[in-house]
Structure 1
Amino acid sequence: MKTILWATLTANGNYAQSSPEHPPKMEALGDFAAQARAMGNFIVGRRTFEGMQASGGNPFGEVDIVVVSQSVKDIPGVKVVESPQDALDYLQRKGHTTALLSGGADLHNTFLGQGLVDEVIFNVAPVMEGKGLNLLLDQDHYQYQDVQLLDCKPLGGGVIQLRYALGQE
């Protein structure tokens, strides 16, 4: 199964953090919703999913949502699994050939560290943040991985989307 990691980064390379004072860019959110509908699914961590619920509503329609959590076992309307591989296995059993990994940073880093990501979509927002989280290939060892640029396009509002295929080591 092909797995695509989707994330918004700041112009200075941090994993973008949003808050009520600094909400995510609408262009990036619109792109995520379009990607999720096109793939028919997305995988998300529990805390990120709770943040999505707090913002109200489900704009995704009939999209299969998989929440990865080791502490919560049941959330109405979504599938809850304990590991990244469980999420991919579930979506494959449902007939999906591509999985969209949507967040948060800890889950992204777990998928990357386990070598479960084939492509990344980075939406670079026109903001800079003094502190933030980073996306890591391996949290225990330094790694270097070539990537291949597949696409680059403006989404509007100063947001630029970069899409890369991860290289083979």
Structure 2
Amino acid sequence: MEPQGEGSAAKGSTVRALMAVKHQSGKTHSQIAAETGLTNVYVAQLLRRQAQLKPATVPALRAALPQLTDEMVAEMMRPPLRSYDPNLIQEPAIYRLNEAVMHFGESIKEIINEEFGDGIMSAIDFFCSVDKVKGVDGKDRVVVTFDGKYLPYSEQLSEHMVSRPRQ
């Protein structure tokens, strides 16, 4: 397996190899998550090279997916090239997620501002999971949880800019 580098072909090759290991294991992302203590979305991010495998997690991931090679683990420990294919929006499930965020986004932003102040939710100090629950009508429902750190916007006082020399 060649290092990921900047090329999408190399990343694609790595992702295909990692997904093959997952498929051979017969386990779901949620099963691997339960065995590793990670969220199911983070497991998917690791296998898609959208997140970096941390050293402390290696033993649990190796136990969950024993077919991972040393080369695969080493590649997963490198900082990833986080990216997405803009054509993914054409996939119906991804389109609907985007649609839901766009439809509810303004209201979510208003509530964040009311509850926290002027700021945003971090997508770096962030947890995400997907769960299946039964609705009150007995039908399956999808629960997507976004759990991000609140980041307030800063008032931009020139005296607080460390890049400017003090006068």
Same fold, TM-score > 0.5, yes or no: no
Higher strand share: 1
Pairwise TM-score range, normalised by the shorter structure: under 0.3
Q: TM-score, normalised by structure 1?
A: 0.28
Higher helix share: 2
Q: TM-score, normalised by structure 2?
A: 0.28
